[in-house]
Structure formats: C-alpha cells, structure tokens
Amino acid sequence: MTTKTAAKKKNGFKKFWKLGIEEYNTQNFDISPDGELIVREGNFQYNIFDIVKKYGSSTEIMFPTIIENRVRDLIETFNAYIKVLNYKARFYYHYAMKVNQNKEFVLPAVAEGANLEVSSANELFLVKRMIEQDKFNAKIRVICNGPKTEKYISLIEELKGKGLIVIPIIEDYTELERLKKFKGEVGIRVNLNIKINSHWDKKFNRFGFTEEELLRLGKVRGLSVLHYHISSQIEKMDGLVKPLKRAIELYAKLREKNPGLDTIDMGGGAGVPYEKRKHFYSAKNLIQHLIKNAKNHCDRLGVKHPNLIVEWGRYVAAPAQLTIYKILAEKTVENKGKNKWYVVNGSFMNDLIDTWAIHQKWHVIPINQMTTRKLEKVWLAGSSCDSDDKYTAGGGYILLPRLSETDELYIAFLDTGAYQDSLASHHCLLSSPAKLIAQNGEIKVARRRENPEEVGKMFGW
Ligand SMILES: *Cc1c(COP(=O)(O)O)cnc(C)c1O
C-alpha cells in the first residue's frame, strides 16, 4: 500500500468515527497508526489507550486546554462582533459553576477571563476559598442565583466587603424583601412568557417573576441586571435569539423607573452537538445573531444598548472530558435482531446519570481497534444490577468493534464534562471512576478510583 492510500484510509476511519471535525468539537481528536485514540494539545499528544492501560478504568480524562480554548474563543467572538456590528456596550462571560464545580474545570475558565455564576451558598463558598488562596483577581464578577437564605446573603456581604463584585439575583418577593437594604448592584430574574424547544422549558417554571409582576414592582434599589435563564441544550438558534428580543422589550420598559438598569444576563442554554446525526448551530453564528438582533431591536425601541452577559456552562464544559469503560462481556439481546449487549465496567446510572434521567444521547467511540472493519451493532449495559442501567442510543444501536479472544476493547463517551459529576451516585456501591487531568503533555491523578473502604465509609461502615 502506498503512503497516500494509507493516509486516505486512515482519514477514512477518522471520518467514520467523526473525529477531527470542529462542528462536533472533535478537532483535537485523531487516530494513531495503531488504531488508537489520540487527543492533541498544541504539539503535545495523549494516547488514550496507553493512559487507560496504565491507570485502569473506569476513568474520566479531562483536558483543561479545551476549557481554556473555548472560553477564550467565546469571549473573543463576542468582542469581535460587538466591534464589527458597532454595538455600544460590553460583554461579560460568567461560567456557571453548577455545570462542573471541579477545580480543574473552574480555574482554567477563570484564567481565560471568565467571571462566575453560582447557584448556591456552597458554590459561593468555593469562590471565597479561591479568594483566600489569592487564586484570582478580586475584580472578578460573581452572579448569585439560587435561594437567598440568610447564610447565603451574609456570605455575599462578606465577599463584597473583600472588594469582590457580587451581584445577587432576586428571584421572588421574599428575596426582594430580604435584599431591600443591600448596598450594591442587584439583578432581578424574569420568567419570560415565551416557549422554546428544549427538554427543560417547562410549562410551569418556578424561577423568577412574571413579566407583569416585574412591571408592577416599580423602582428596585440598586437594580442593574435583568436576568433570565430559559433552558439548557437549546436545540435551535431561534430559541436563544427570541428570548433576548423579548427581554430587551422588558428592559426598555423597566428602565423608565430604573435608569441604572444597564445589563441583560441571558443565562445558559447554548448547546453542544451530542447527536452526530443532526445539524447543529455554531457558536460563532449564534453570537453574531444575538448581537445583531440586540442592536437592531434596541435601536428600533430607541433604548441604550445593554451590556450582555451569558452564563453558558454546558457549551464550555461538556467537550472537555471523556468517560472511559472497558468492555467486560457480550450477551445476546433477546428479540432485537442482531444487536448484542456489551457490558461495561462502570455504570451509566452512576457516572453518566443523564443517560438514565433524560435519555441523553452520546458520541461513543472505541479507543483501540479503531481501524478494524469488523463491527458489531451493540447496546451498552452498565455493571449495576438495574435494568435501567443501559445506553441504547435511543433504541437504535452503537457501532463498535467486534470482541476478540485476544484483544481487550475500551470505549469512550465524548462530551461528558457537563453536569454528570455532581449528579453522580453509588447504586450497587460501585466505585466512581478515577479522574485524570491531561495537561502540558502530562497526566495527573486528580481523584483516585474509589476503593471499597472509601465507598463503605460514605454509608457509615
Ligand atoms: C444551569 C444554569 C446555567 C447553565 O446552563 P447551560 O445550559 O449549561 O449553559 C446558567 N445560568 C443559570 C441560572 C442556570 O440555572
């Protein structure tokens, strides 16, 4: 075989597994000549199969460089379109901490200029930790969502006292009362009267004031931010643009009594293409549309352009982590054509809970034997005793290499960096995966795989 056809063939496998493609966030991924998964960080590269052989599985591998690149691109893209489209206000990115609170996710985001959004007093406590360790510039801005208990409010006051810009978001009448005497900027959350395409856009949304309630509030002391968070993994660009236009109309009306109101915080919602079959919008296109529409709408209403905030969490964090399992065994699937079960050494219910909770689709690839042509249509079964512990790609199938007597097979779930960690559990007392950090060409063990003593301890043993 000439090198040219070899290259073409290899590229064919790369395409087959949908790697090296920016649209799918796999531009850092490649296949080694031995058919193993490679992840690149500049001129460093990681052979994932070698890493897993060394550190075992089940394992999560996260790449701080991916967080850094995504935050940097996001901020640069907003700023570039603000300039090109002559938008007359500023942009602030706030990383939504609840998406992944691991230090290895938060610090790279902050390093690239992310501000923060916290959803609870405990997350704000982590911000306090970072400040005390002199980990970051006290000019950082922190938006505070979640129920404002007395404890939460006193922590907000304490951090404000240290010079931090901490902006509590008022979500209901009780909080409005509690924050009446608050000396500083506050935000207010609206439950926009609009419907969009997404799992989380519920008919009955309990977060925030209705538009009518807000308009009846009159003057709110210190009000500078109008905040909404419609949903997560919003499927169509329109689902992000339309709410912004509606919020701008409300902002224009609220400014009559609250001239200090100068910012719209759009919350989260930008999605990632977990499903490789559907066409997905790009962030660049989305950002351009957001700013263009904000500008045109404000100009039409004759109102000052507001500063813009996004709290996109999933968009930044999901592609930064892989979850890796070994295939332990195969079984036949009764009554389902040729599909086989592959049993993995971990649990979807525990480690990738959205598989079970919201029937999340994932991009699943082998990390070795990637150039084999012997493929099998499979469903994946977790190691817990629960019949719901499975991944079937929505009842379809996952294509994976056929098991052989001689070679082990390992698989990776891509884009697992958002939401799975803090929701993880211990069904059947299975151990949580190890967490490895790949950075500057080296692997660091951030969290060992739990041993039986550690798991038992959590249950009082
Ligand atoms: C969950 C949440 C986010 C992050 O949402 P993504 O869809 O992950 O971007 C941002 N803001 C608020 C208020 C949230 O509740």
Task: Answer whether 325 contacts ligand 1 (Cβ < 6 A).
Answer: no
Spatial distance between the Cα atoms of 415 and 101, rounded to a whole number of angstroms: 16
In this structure, which residue's CA is closest to atom 12 in ligand 1?
267
Please give the distance, rounded to the nearest whole angstrom, from the Cα atom of residue 79 to the centre of ligand 1: 21
Please give the distance, rounded to the nearest whole angstrom, from the Cα atom of residue 417 to the centre of ligand 1: 14
Task: Answer whether 94 contacts ligand 1 (Cβ < 6 A).
Answer: no
Supply the pTM of this predicted model.
0.95
Task: Answer whether 311 contacts ligand 1 (Cβ < 6 A).
Answer: yes
Task: Answer whether 366 contacts ligand 1 (Cβ < 6 A).
Answer: no
Task: Answer whether 96 contacts ligand 1 (Cβ < 6 A).
Answer: yes
Which atom in ligand 1 lies closest to the alpha carbon of residue 227? 13
In this structure, which residue's CA is closest to atom 1 in ligand 1?
268
Which atom in ligand 1 lies closest to the alpha carbon of residue 315? 9
User: What is the per-residue pLDDT for 1?
Assistant: 47
Please give the distance, rounded to the nearest whole angstrom, from the Cα atom of residue 420 to the centre of ligand 1: 14
User: What is the per-residue pLDDT for 202?
Assistant: 65
Task: Answer whether 243 contacts ligand 1 (Cβ < 6 A).
Answer: no
Ligand 1 pocket test: which of 115, 117, 118, 201 has the largest number of ligand atoms within 8 Å of its C-beta? Answer: 117
Please give the distance, rounded to the nearest whole angstrom, from the Cα atom of residue 315 to the centre of ligand 1: 10
Please give the distance, rounded to the nearest whole angstrom, from the Cα atom of residue 118 to the centre of ligand 1: 10
- Residue from 148, 130, 150 nearest 186 by CA: 148
- Residue from 445, 358, 367, 349 nearest 413 by CA: 367
Which atom in ligand 1 lies closest to the alpha carbon of residue 234? 7
Task: Answer whether 268 contacts ligand 1 (Cβ < 6 A).
Answer: yes
Q: What DSSP assignment string belongs to 118-137?
A: ESSHHHHHHHHHHHHTT-S-
- Residue from 346, 331, 393 nearest 365 by CA: 393
Task: Answer whether 312 contacts ligand 1 (Cβ < 6 A).
Answer: yes
Please give the distance, rounded to the nearest whole angstrom, from the Cα atom of residue 267 to the centre of ligand 1: 6
pLDDT tens digits for the chain (461 residues)?
455 555 565 579 999 999 999 999 999 999 999 999 999 999 999 999 999 999 999 999 999 999 999 999 999 999 999 999 999 999 999 999 999 999 999 999 999 999 999 999 999 999 999 988 876 777 899 999 999 999 999 999 999 998 899 999 999 999 999 999 999 999 999 999 988 877 766 666 778 999 999 999 999 999 999 999 999 999 999 999 999 999 999 999 999 999 999 999 999 999 999 988 778 999 999 999 999 999 999 999 999 999 999 999 999 999 999 999 999 999 988 877 788 999 999 999 999 999 999 999 999 999 999 999 999 999 999 999 999 999 999 999 999 999 998 899 999 999 999 999 999 999 999 999 999 999 999 999 999 999 999 999 999 99
Task: Answer whether 313 contacts ligand 1 (Cβ < 6 A).
Answer: yes
Q: Angle, nearest 10°, between helix axes 150-161 and 121-132?
A: 20
- Domains by residue range for the chain, with CATH: 3-64+320-458 (2.40.37.10), 66-317 (3.20.20.10)
Please give the distance, rounded to the nearest whole angstrom, from the Cα atom of residue 330 to the centre of ligand 1: 38
Triad 420, 421, 425: Cα angle to 5°: 90
Number of Cβ within a 10 Å radius of residue 107: 17
Spatial distance between the Cα atoms of 350 and 354, rounded to a whole number of angstroms: 9
User: What is the per-residue pLDDT for 7?
Assistant: 56
Task: Answer whether 295 contacts ligand 1 (Cβ < 6 A).
Answer: no
Determine the straight-line distance between the first and last CA of the chain, rounded to whole angstroms.
Answer: 61
For residue 423, the number of C-alpha atoms closer than 13 Å in the C-beta half-sphere is 17
In this structure, which residue's CA is closest to atom 15 in ligand 1?
229
In this structure, which residue's CA is closest to atom 3 in ligand 1?
268
Task: Answer whether 191 contacts ligand 1 (Cβ < 6 A).
Answer: no
Spatial distance between the Cα atoms of 319 and 258, rounded to a whole number of angstroms: 40
Please give the distance, rounded to the nearest whole angstrom, from the Cα atom of residue 356 to the centre of ligand 1: 20
Task: For tokens 């069904």, name the residue.
Answer: 427
